[in-house]
Amino acid sequence: MLKYILTIFFSFSVSIGNIFSQTYLNLDWSKDQIEVNSDYNSSLIGLFSKHYVEYYNSKFSDEVSIYETHHFKSLINEYIKEINNEILIPKLNIIEISDVKAKITSKDSTMVYDFQTIKSLVDDVSSNENFTVYKLPNLKKDDVLEVMYTVKKKYNFNGSRNIQESFPILSADFILIQNNFKSNLKVYNTTDYKVTDSLIDNKKAKLVHFTNIKESLNEQYATPIANKIKVSYQCYENQENITQSEYWGNLVNNVSELFFPKSVNKKAEELLKEIKNGYVTIPWNESKIANSIDTYIKNYFIISDKNDQKLNNIDYIFEQKESNDFSIIQVYTQLFKLAEIEYEIAISCNRFYLKFDPDLFDPNQLREFLIYLPKSNIYISPNRIEFRATEAPDDLLGNYAMYIDKNLDYYFSEIILENKNFSKINKEIFVNIPKNLKKAIIHENRKFTGYWGILNRNYVYLSENEKTDFLVDYFTISGLNDKKVLKYQINNYDTDYNFRNQPLRINTKLETRDLVKKVNGKTLLNVGKVIGLQSNLFNEDERINPIEINFPNEYYYDIKFMIPKGYKIVNIHDLTKEKKFISVDGNVTAQFKSSANFEKNRLSIKISEFYRSLKYEKNRYNEFRDVINAAAEFYDIEIELSKN
């Protein structure tokens, strides 16, 4: 999809510049002796990492190519448990792998592998359409590995490089060799760097230097990939002087007919009549018609991944009801124009991989295309089969987007959740403990709304049927070692229920011996197990990434235990817990709260847990962590039953 977008968005002409040889041909092995502090306990330590991006003019034509080189040197530390001997070279949009060489320095030997030798080390099993994988033999602890590889790519005016890795790097450089081009670059997720203008082999370059880069961590409640230190850049013809606003404006002009067609296809008129007559309930309104159009397209149009230009042609798309995942938006805009529905187009990207930046035009941000209805504040996601006319997809929440209106004016705004109470899980749990305290019977009614409903309905949609073994296990209480499902009923699982946010309902009946146990003459009832396994942050003391959850959400539990007559509860006060996160405006934005009472052999427990913000202050991590851990601690609660 992106390749097609870039093709229609931009067309650059470039002229012949200098004819120097490519820089990678002049690179040599490092002769620096780098001392490593013994405090590092990482299995791999990056001694240095250098990323070269060179815009190179051909000697014999006006063609411009890009040569990307990664030159790095790493120490295999003694803490490593398993040595990864692979060199992975991404193949996305490359013309060729121009060079690969490696040098392994051990205490008693040095081994150098040139390109011809490296080619014989290709791992055909691990290599695929995305990566070429080479496997180096005889790597050991305390070896120093140095690698230089270069790939050739077609000209593209922009790009980006992740500088941060999953291990510490003592020194890193990003070198943009622009030659006679103009350039812009921007560094993300750190302020600790230095940019200088330089000459590399007598060619103009910009150098960004970093020192002591910490390893990236895949923490919970975070967007670690998007949080990595990276450099984004633009490189364009010297005669041009293009502002970022002009880039965005150029985008709008190139997609205007796709997003806001001047004329309507005849097939669209016939199709809208069919949709209105068969899919829209009376009384009509804008959101009902928009949702019916969305539902019809997702039910009857095929999205193909074939590289076929016909899939971009609106006549062919209407005739065959087949399109690619980008051009399908034309069907929506044709029908919306005909139905006189006011809409805007929102363009953004998955926040877990990339944070949208309005200040630097980057086509890599143009990954997700939504239709926004400003009158009702809802979104339609043409590429998301599980979504209907509702809130924006959860992986776009909190990211910025470019909004384009019918007048082809554009603005940037954060994608926000309109309904703050959109996503809830409600559980009613009734547990009957028998007189012999052995086989407990659990009746549970669950209701999922919002993103919980969308997510779980998608699991059903992707399954063979709604009652597969996986789904039955997934939708019943997790964490029970002995669980027998006596009844399983699921309702409202069709994706069409997502439009009105009607709850997905699941009713189950379980039998288990896992709730009661005898320990040192005491009878213990594991009350907490009925809420299921909970995520926790017990082992995460220091926070690296900003706190960002999947989506604001709430949980409500209404739990009742019927205890055999003749028993009392010794430590009922253990079931009362409260942890909360109070924001700077005084509002409680995260909380776990439980309460309990025992009357006439019935133990009643109510739990409320919610997270009303998408992001929480990193410097208040311990407060957030306490709320998360409170639920996990409740799961482990055992109460003592003693006879009256």
CA distances for 506 relative to 185, 270, 456, 461, angstroms:
52, 40, 11, 15
Tens digits of per-residue pLDDT, 528-579? 999 999 999 998 778 999 999 999 999 999 999 999 999 999 999 999 999 9
| 502 assigned to some structural domain | yes
pLDDT at 615 over 80: yes
pLDDT at 445 over 50: yes
Beta strands in 201-291 (DSSP E): 203-213, 230-236
Domain region containing 281: 246-414
| 507 assigned to some structural domain | yes
On whether the CB atoms of residues 416 and 395 are closer than 8 A, the answer is no
Judgement on whether residues 452 and 383 belong to the same structural domain of the protein: no
Helix (H, G, I), strand (E, B) or coil at 589: strand
**What's the pLDDT at 79?**
65
How many structural domains is the chain composed of? 3
Q: Is 169 exposed, middle or buried (0-12, 13-18, 19+ CB in 10 A)?
A: buried
Judgement on whether residues 135 and 261 belong to the same structural domain of the protein: no
State the average pLDDT for the chain.
Answer: 92
Q: Whole-model pTM?
A: 0.91
> How far is the C-alpha of 372 from the C-alpha of 387, rounded, in Å?
13
Judgement on whether residues 503 and 370 belong to the same structural domain of the protein: no
| 419 assigned to some structural domain | no
Helix (H, G, I), strand (E, B) or coil at 204: strand
Tens digits of per-residue pLDDT, 202-244? 899 999 999 999 999 999 999 999 999 999 999 988 766 789 9
Judgement on whether residues 211 and 256 belong to the same structural domain of the protein: no
Compute and round to an integer the Cα radius of gyration of the chain: 30
**What's the pLDDT at 249?**
96
pLDDT at 5 over 60: no
Query: What is the arithmetic mean of pLDDT over 21-27?
Result: 90
Residue with tokens 């995942």: 325
**What's the pLDDT at 9?**
43
How many CA atoms lie within 13 Å of 495's alpha carbon, on the beta-carbon side?
21
CA distances for 56 relative to 15, 23, 62, 236, 447, angstroms:
11, 9, 10, 12, 59
| 241 assigned to some structural domain | no
> How far is the C-alpha of 197 from the C-alpha of 626, rounded, in Å?
48
On whether the CB atoms of residues 107 and 76 are closer than 8 A, the answer is no
Tens digits of per-residue pLDDT, 421-442? 999 999 999 999 999 999 999 9
| 575 assigned to some structural domain | yes
Judgement on whether residues 404 and 449 belong to the same structural domain of the protein: no
**What's the pLDDT at 85?**
86
Query: What is the arithmetic mean of pLDDT over 328-343?
Result: 96
Judgement on whether residues 165 and 256 belong to the same structural domain of the protein: no
Last residue of one domain, picked from the residues 198, 218, 236: 236
Q: Measure CA of the first residue to CA of the last residue in the chain; give whole Å.
A: 70
**What's the pLDDT at 236?**
86
Judgement on whether residues 359 and 400 belong to the same structural domain of the protein: yes
Which of 22, 23, 98, 15 lies closest to 64 in space, CA to CA? Answer: 15
Judgement on whether residues 375 and 439 belong to the same structural domain of the protein: no
**What's the pLDDT at 81?**
66
CATH of the domain at 18: 2.60.40.3140
Residue with tokens 């039953």: 641
| 431 assigned to some structural domain | yes
**What's the pLDDT at 20?**
54
**What's the pLDDT at 296?**
94
Last residue of one domain, picked from the residues 383, 414, 445: 414
CA distances for 297 relative to 159, 265, 432, 456, 459, angstroms:
34, 16, 48, 22, 21
pLDDT at 10 over 60: no
Tens digits of per-residue pLDDT, 289-320? 999 999 999 999 999 999 899 999 999 999 99
CATH of the domain at 367: 3.10.620.30
Q: Is the bond leading into 261 cis (omega within 30 degrees of zero)?
A: no
Judgement on whether residues 304 and 370 belong to the same structural domain of the protein: yes
Neighbours of 179 (CB within 10 A): 19
Judgement on whether residues 369 and 393 belong to the same structural domain of the protein: yes
Last residue of one domain, picked from the residues 236, 270, 295: 236
Judgement on whether residues 60 and 137 belong to the same structural domain of the protein: yes
